[in-house]
Each structure stands twice: as C-alpha cells, then as structure tokens.
Chain A
Amino acid sequence: MPAYDDERFAPAAPVARVSLRHPDSGKSIADVPMLIDSGADATLLPKSAVASLGIIGTGERYELVAFDGTTNESEAVHAVLVFLNKTFRGRFLQVESEVGVIGRNVLNRVRLLLDGPALNWGELPPTSEDA
C-alpha cells in the first residue's frame, strides 16, 4: 500500500501518484502527486502538470472557498486522470502547487482505506453492491 507523504505534509497525509492525460492528444504524464482530500468538493490539478500536457483552459472560472473563508478563482480544464486503474474524464480545476487535490467528485467513486496508524493507504476490494 502507498505510504503517506511525510515530506510535504506534517502530520503525514495520504498522497496518490496519478497519471494525467490530455483528453484529445492522449499525451500523458505519470507520477503526479495528489492529496487525497475528502473535504474538497472538486479535483484540482497542479498548474505545472496541466501546462506540461499543453491543456488549454475552458474559459470557465470557478470560485473556491478555503477553510478560513478566503476565496480564489480557478479556470477549469478538461483532462483525464488515471487513479486506481480507473480513468476519470471530465472537468478539473487548477492549483498553484506541485501537489494537486483529489476531491469527492473522484473519491466518491472508489473504496479507500486510510490506515493512519500505519501511515499508508490503499484500495479496498469491491463489494457485491459494486457489481
């Protein structure tokens, strides 16, 4: 199971290394770090990763509110995220950070175990209800 990231986060946090793809060209990059954040409404990709794929913003802007009430605007992009052997194709926002954020629009489609004491995380096997 992947270990929590204790280099960028204190306390350590669950970070997935995902692949991202350009939705049209298929160009991809691997090992993009993304914080597993069940408090996030949407999924945010690192701007540098988006730029490296040559993905252009859609022009749609969304206002985001942080825990302290401060707001930021982010332009949406269309992309494909590969996470836990699934592809998630749709609209993402962008963040000025080397670590992106996987929000509930993705997390609610997978089954995860966050093993805090062991400082690792992993995917739970599917249940009969998933079939």
Chain B
Amino acid sequence: MAGRHKGNTKEFRELNFAEQAKSITAMINNLQAAIEHHVGHSPRRLETIGKCLAQVDRLRQRLRNSYYQQGAQAGSGEAVAGVEEVPRLHVGSPRLAEPERAADFTMEVAEESRDAGLR
C-alpha cells in the first residue's frame, strides 16, 4: 500500500492490526475531507457530487463482492466473519403502491435522429 505510516516510519503492511485499523479510519476521514474540498471547488457541483458518490458506491460494492466471493470459495457456505453476505441478486421490478397513478408515467415518445439508444 502506498504511503508511509506511524510517523512516516512504517509501511502499512508493517503496522499491527490495531494500527492498521486506525490508519484505515484516518484514510477514510481523509477521503471524506478530500471529496468535500473537491465538491466545494467544483464548477459543476451537482455533477461532481454525483460522480464522487458513485465512486464511493462502486468501492463499497467491490469490497462486498470480494468478501462475498471469498466466503463462497471457502466451500462451506459460511460467510466471511464480520461481512454481511450479499448475493448478486438485483431487487428489481418495483410496483407502484398506487396503481391509479401509473398514468403519471405516460411517456411522450418521438423518433431520435441520432443513433444514441442501442449500444
């Protein structure tokens, strides 16, 4: 892991477990501060917020997928300790609780001149 820790005397891997935990907390706090600073100086604030949140979401998803796969590879079906089992099931198919409001979602459809839809 890049960077030095513990008063610039150790690499991350050389820290003991508790020191690594503290270091991770500090890095997360630094990441939050960096994002807040970046958003604060963005000429397109909303776009920057959306991108940063999406990056954090993807990081979280990668970690969860990684530890879930490790749990699956352990072979016993046991979850990795401390990690919530997250199957890759996408909960889709949302229904409107008030079906009578479905007409609100009627679309105005037109042909698009550019070939922008099918990718």
Contact = CB atoms under 8 A, between A and B. Distances in A.
Contact of B90 (A35, A52, A91, A103): A35
A86 to B, nearest CB: 6
Nearest to A35: B92
B88 A9 contact: yes
A7 to B, nearest CB: 9
A59 to B, nearest CB: 13
Interface in A41-58: 41-44, 46-54
B53 A2 contact: no
Contacts of A109: 107, 109
B117 A18 contact: yes
Contacts, number: 149
B115 A87 contact: no
B91 interface: yes
Interface string A84-118: 11111111110100110101011001000000000
Contact of A41 (B50, B87, B96, B117): B96
Interface size class of A (residues with CB under 8 A): 35 or more
Most-contacted residue by chain B among A19, A64, A72, A85 (CB, 10 A): A85
21 contacts: A10-B88, A19-B117, A31-B119, A39-B93, A41-B95, A42-B94, A42-B96, A42-B105, A47-B50, A48-B57, A52-B46, A62-B96, A62-B97, A64-B97, A65-B97, A66-B91, A85-B118, A91-B105, A92-B105, A101-B94, A106-B107
Interface of B: 44, 46-47, 49-51, 53-54, 57-58, 87-99, 101-102, 104-112, 114-119
